[in-house]
């Protein structure tokens, strides 16, 4: 393998300038971005990304999901390529690092390799996946999900946003309906650089998280039934308030999850009381429960325990599963190469499990996959205050650069 040295690694100022330029597309007043999938802002970001790749001399293409690829040709063009990238879409009033960093750090890493004047054995392809966030078209990770066989194209094309607009029609409207022949069908490996979106790396003063896997999840919807009555004329001792019953269940679940101490997390993210007016007792309350764990057996055990706690309530409760995904374990060989790159770059690191889903979760179904995390300031993400310090970004991009070179020449 030709030698490359981290002392002549990525150029942070170049990456920083691209990050700042991209952040102007969909910029919010408080320093974040709103760049939902297949909107005008998304179209502008895609155009700019393609422009930068073409200026670098990469071969670009778009597939029938709108996934964008840029290819640096290797010595053996028939060898399966190494993939790297993330996404450009955001949540409403989200941060400018989530997803975008993984795409632009990949571009910087490939440009750095190209500047060495030494071709890698395998081609390296940068990919920006469509609709990772799921903020406009649910569920999340539609672009990578079709590639990995999780969803069918027809299913994705038929997804509608809150205004009833179809995914397929919006993809065509912004001019990014590509060809099915352009999809990636064979990959040697996939590496995704991403912000942690949590507080662990910062708290432990580690520059890099070597991500060994992604926690599995169960999403449940609970409907608590009671009796809707007038708020003024119904005595307190004669009420069947569904919201009060729901709050008791939520408190019990929170207490149970807090006491486990094994990495389990449980979250009530949505709650709605009906009829939802100030002068009526809630006759029905609906809320969601998100349960996550990195161990498949413990995840199943946790769902069983949570269900038991809910059923022990005296309330009339209906439980419906609305989504799930088993825990994901990444490639030991690829994570080992990331560790090796951290040592080569002389940066601190720790092994970590991602609590959030990423495109890498689905790509793991079709190729050897791993992720690189960089710290999130105060653990914040999916908000305008989201931030990652540029010295940490430089370290993460250098680790990505070294890892891609190792993968492309193994």
Percent over 70 (pLDDT), the chain: 98
What confidence score (pLDDT) does residue 360 get? Answer: 97
Say if residue 145's pLDDT is above 90: yes
∠ Cα 156 69 110 (to 5°): 145
| Cα(367)–Cα(301) distance, integer angstroms | 29
| CB of 46 closer than 8 Å to CB of 88 | yes
Task: State percent of the chain over pLDDT 90.
Answer: 96
Q: What is the CA radius of gyration of the chain?
A: 23
At residue 1, does pLDDT exceed 80? no
The arithmetic mean of pLDDT across residues 124-129, rounded, is: 98
What average pLDDT score do residues 243-251 get?
Answer: 97
**Mean model confidence pLDDT for the chain:** 96
- CA distances to 132, 146, 184 from 152, in Å: 16, 6, 15
Whether this model's pTM surpasses 0.85: yes
What is the pLDDT, as a whole number, of residue 8?
67
Task: Say if CB 192 and CB 372 are below 8 A apart.
Answer: yes
């Amino acid at each position: 393998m030709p030698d490359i040295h981290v002392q002549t690694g990525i150029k942070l100022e170049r990456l920083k300038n691209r990050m700042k330029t991209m952040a102007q597309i969909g910029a919010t007043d408080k320093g974040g971005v709103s760049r939902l999938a297949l909107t005008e802002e998304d179209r502008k970001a895609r155009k700019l990304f393609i422009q930068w790749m073409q200026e670098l001399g990469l071969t670009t293409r778009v597939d029938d999901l709108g996934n964008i690829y840029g290819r640096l040709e290797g010595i053996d063009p028939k060898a399966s390529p190494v993939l790297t990238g993330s996404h450009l879409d955001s949540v409403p009033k989200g941060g400018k690092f989530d997803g975008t960093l993984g795409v632009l750090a990949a571009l910087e890493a490939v440009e750095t390799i190209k500047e060495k004047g030494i071709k890698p054995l395998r081609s390296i392809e940068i990919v920006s996946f469509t609709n990772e966030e799921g903020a406009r078209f649910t569920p999340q990770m539609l672009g990578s999900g079709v590639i990995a066989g999780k969803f069918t194209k027809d299913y994705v094309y038929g997804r509608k946003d809150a205004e009833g607009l179809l995914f397929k029609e919006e993809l065509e409207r912004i001019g990014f309906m590509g060809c099915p022949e352009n999809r990636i069908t064979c990959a040697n490996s996939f590496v995704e650089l991403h912000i942690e979106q949590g507080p662990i790396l910062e708290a432990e003063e580690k520059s890099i998280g070597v991500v060994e896997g992604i926690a599995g999840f169960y999403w449940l919807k609970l409907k608590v039934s009671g009796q809707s009555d007038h708020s003024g004329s119904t005595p307190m001792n004669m009420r069947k308030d569904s919201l009060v019953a729901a709050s008791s269940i939520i408190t019990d679940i929170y207490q149970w999850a807090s006491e486990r101490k094994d990495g389990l997390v449980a979250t009530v993210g949505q709650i709605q009381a009906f009829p939802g007016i100030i002068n009526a007792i809630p006759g029905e309350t609906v809320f969601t429960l998100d349960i996550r764990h990195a161990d498949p057996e413990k995840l199943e055990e946790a769902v069983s325990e949570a269900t038991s706690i809910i059923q022990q309530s005296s309330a009339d409760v209906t439980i419906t599963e609305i989504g799930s995904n088993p825990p994901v374990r990444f490639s030991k060989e690829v994570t080992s190469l990331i560790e090796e790159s951290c040592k080569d770059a002389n940066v601190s690191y720790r092994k970590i499990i991602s609590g959030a889903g990423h495109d890498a979760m689905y790509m793991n179904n079709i190729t050897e996959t791993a992720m690189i995390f960089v710290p999130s300031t105060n653990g914040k993400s999916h908000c305008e205050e989201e931030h990652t310090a540029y010295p940490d970004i430089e370290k993460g991009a250098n680790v990505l650069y070294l890892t891609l070179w190792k993968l492309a020449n193994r």
